[in-house]
Structure 1
Amino acid sequence: MGLSEFIVLNVDRIVDEWEQFAETITPAAETMNSVALRDHAREILLAASRDMNTAQTASEQQAKGPETSPALDEAAASHGELRHTVGFDLVQMTSEFRHLRACVIRLWVASIDAPALSHMQDMIRFNEAIDQALAESTAAYAEQVNRSRDIFLAILGHDLRAPLQAVSMSSEMLERKTRLDPVAQPYLLAIKNGARHMGAMVNDLLEFVRSRLGTSLPIEPRAMDLGQACQAALDEACAGQPDCAPTLQVEGDVQGHWDPRRLGQLLQNLIGNALQHGARRGKVTLHLSGDSEAVTLRVHNVGMPIAEDAIGTLFDPLVRSPSEDLSQPGTSTSLGLGLFIIKEVVDAHGGRIDVTSTEAEGTTFTVVLPKNA
């Protein structure tokens, strides 16, 4: 008897053994009933059997991957999601497939009187199907893990806003209502700057999570002057830093329709990045130019160049430059999210961003934004 036929005829017996094994996976299995323990085992087995009966050339076998067996993929993915929901860890979930594979082959081999060459081919096809199901379950499980992590980070970022706001408002009221001696003033300034930087980190974290849980960064464009926004961002970035002296050059018409809050994030992160890597080594320059269609912003600083092999991942989340000095006052975030947020804002406005970095010329970030986002 071929293996695919054996699976169909003995599917209930095999699933019974699956359930018996799943019962041993504690503590998650302690609160699960028979239906939950058996989950998609029957569907996975029957889909694997159908897959084994499908004609397959050598080239198709080599190229086999996701979406070649939709029913098998769907059942396996659902199994991975549900196992995550009930509290199985990844090792426990994958052990179910190991047991399933061993159970089927053990029972089938015991039923064979005389092994034949076709039986070897059946076993190969069965292993392919189980490996594909395992891959789909693992991918679905990992996606659920990522989503749970993102939701946790979103809750954490949201909950941090209240105490940060309390620190910020208290420091403002203390400055307005109390006459502090000169010795205490620097401490108050440090509290205000620390709260501001922590607020920027929380905002970046929330934008990162929002982009992962959603599709794209939402924007609300309205008429604004990018030159004024740049100057305001410079003033804020340099507040409390007497040595901070970046220059702003504006040419042409730099008015357009963009989201002021998102552009503020972009500017703060770009300027913070330039100050962090360039303030101690030379000047930071912002050059803004506009024509009838778009506005181009160039932010330049000198200092250690970005490694060529790092430029490709520069805008990836949670990636920081090896040369990053977090003690520098211009740092807007220590999470490695600043440049990621910049790219998200640029993409949401239909623009583009490029970076060049050499030891001789310094580092320049170039942002081009259409005037009507």
Structure 2
Amino acid sequence: MRLSEFMVAEVERIVSEWEQFARVLTADEDLDRDTLRDHARAILLAAARNMNTAQTAREQVAKAKGEGPEQTPSLNRAASSHGELRHHIGFDLVQMTSEFRHLRACVIHLWVGSLKTPDLNYFQDMIRFNEAIDEALAESTAAYAEQVNHSRDLFLAILGHDLRAPLQAVSMSTEMLLRKGNLDADGLTYVAHIKQGARHMGAMVGDLLELVRSRLGKRLPIDPAPMDLAIAARVALAEASAGQPDCRPTLSVHGDATGHWDRGRIDQLLQNLIGNALQHGNRRIVTVQLSGMATEVVLTVHNPGEPIPVDAIATIFDPLVRSSSESLNNPSTSLGLGLFIVKEVAQAHGGTVEVKSTAEQGTTFTVVLPRNS
């Protein structure tokens, strides 16, 4: 009997083996029979149909490389649903993938034991069966991983949202102490430290929520209105200087720097770019330049100092990325989201951001913002 025929004829026996193995994997004794079997029957029958379809030698080679056409949508749907449900009932990724390993071994073992005489076609059957199982495993793993990522992002969203209330309470309490408290010099210093720490934590929470929003598939929301980028840059530089009295950043403006942008988002972009330059470059030499063009405004932030490593350039705008030199030589409370937020803000306005960094010329971030977003 050909393998595809054997799988259809013995599907109940094979699914029972799947159920028994799944029960061994999980410590949850309350899982019922249907839950343990899940999409096993659908996966097996779809795999059998896949094995009965014609396949050229070229298609077989392409499929082995993961480049073949999607020929079995029913197999993919069943496998994807299986990955999602296994995540929901508490299976980890190793447990789920081991189910497919056991399924493969079980089917081949039972089929080989049923054979009376060998046939050359049987080897081709085994190849086709392995291809189908690999396809199902890939779909299940992808669906499982997507569920893990979604659950993590929801947790981070809830965490970031819930942290806002206690942070606001801390900030309001420090304001009340400064207004009503009769504090000595030491007390004022302590309150200033608390206020600064709460502000930093608030910025980190805001960055975290922006990351989660982007991962959940939501474009950064903006509300463009007429504004002057030069004024916003001066305010951002003043705030940066207040926190670091030894720094002397400079601003130069060439041409018209007005346009339609979201003021709050632009403030985020400026604060992160300037803060990044102050943190990683020479604090006394940070230059911000605005150049008004016909349809866009170009913002550059330049600082001398150690260049960005070549291998870090490609991922510098990715979320949660911090260089090894930062973590060892210049530790901070940064989550590695500042430049990611810069990229998101620029793209939300239809603009771009890029970086160039050499030992001779220093590091320059360039943001191009269309005047009418």
| TM-score band, normalised by shorter chain | over 0.9
Q: Equivalent of 2:296, from 283, 294, 299?
A: 294
Task: Give me the whole-angstrom Cα distance separating, in 1, the residues matched to 2:166 and 2:62.
Answer: 54
Task: Give me the whole-angstrom Cα distance separating, in 2, the residues matched to 1:323 and 1:246.
Answer: 23
Per-residue CA distance 1:288-313 (angstroms, 9 max, x = gap): 11123001100011111001121111
Partner of 1:338: 338
Per-residue CA distance 1:101-143 (angstroms, 9 max, x = gap): 1221121111100111111111111111111111111111111
Partner of 1:20: 20
Alignment coverage as a number of residue pairs? 369
Please report how far the alpha carbon of residue 339 of structure 1 lies from its aligned counterpart in structure 2 after TM superposition.
0.8
Task: Give me the whole-angstrom Cα distance separating, in 2, the residues matched to 1:231 and 1:97.
Answer: 60
Task: Give me the whole-angstrom Cα distance separating, in 2, the residues matched to 1:319 and 1:135.
Answer: 28
Please report how far the alpha carbon of residue 325 of structure 1 lies from its aligned counterpart in structure 2 after TM superposition.
6.1
Partner of 1:59: 58
Task: Give me the whole-angstrom Cα distance separating, in 2, the residues matched to 1:25 and 1:300.
Answer: 56
Counterparts of residues 243-282 of structure 1 (less than 5 Å): 243-280=246-283, 282=284
1:319 matched to 2:321? The reply is yes
Q: Secondary structure at the match of 2:245?
A: coil
Per-residue CA distance 1:294-337 (angstroms, 9 max, x = gap): 011000111110011211111111111233269979x6x61111
Partner of 2:6: 6
Partner of 2:101: 98
Answer with 265-274 or 232-241: which moved more. 232-241
Q: Structure 1: which 5+ runs fail to align?
A: none
**Contact conserved, 1:238 with 1:244, CA < 8 A, in 2?**
yes
Task: Give me the whole-angstrom Cα distance separating, in 2, the residues matched to 1:277 and 1:27.
Answer: 50
Q: Structure 2: which 5+ runs fail to align?
A: none
Task: Give me the whole-angstrom Cα distance separating, in 2, the residues matched to 1:25 and 1:324.
Answer: 43
TM-score, structure 1 as length reference: 0.94
Please report how far the alpha carbon of residue 203 of structure 1 lies from its aligned counterpart in structure 2 after TM superposition.
0.5
Counterparts of residues 118-267 of structure 1 (less than 5 Å): 118-267=121-270
Q: Secondary structure at the match of 2:12?
A: helix
Query: Is the alpha carbon distance of 1:326 and 1:340 closer, same or farther for their aligned partners in structure 2, counting shifts above 3 Å?
Result: farther
Q: Secondary structure at the match of 2:319?
A: coil
**Contact conserved, 1:277 with 1:302, CA < 8 A, in 2?**
no
Query: Is the alpha carbon distance of 1:258 and 1:245 closer, same or farther for their aligned partners in structure 2, counting shifts above 3 Å?
Result: same
Alignment RMSD (CA, Å) = 1.8
Partner of 1:87: 90
TM-score, structure 2 as length reference: 0.94
Task: Give me the whole-angstrom Cα distance separating, in 2, the residues matched to 1:151 and 1:338.
Answer: 21
Counterpart residue type for residue 273 of structure 2: L
Percent identical among aligned pairs is: 70
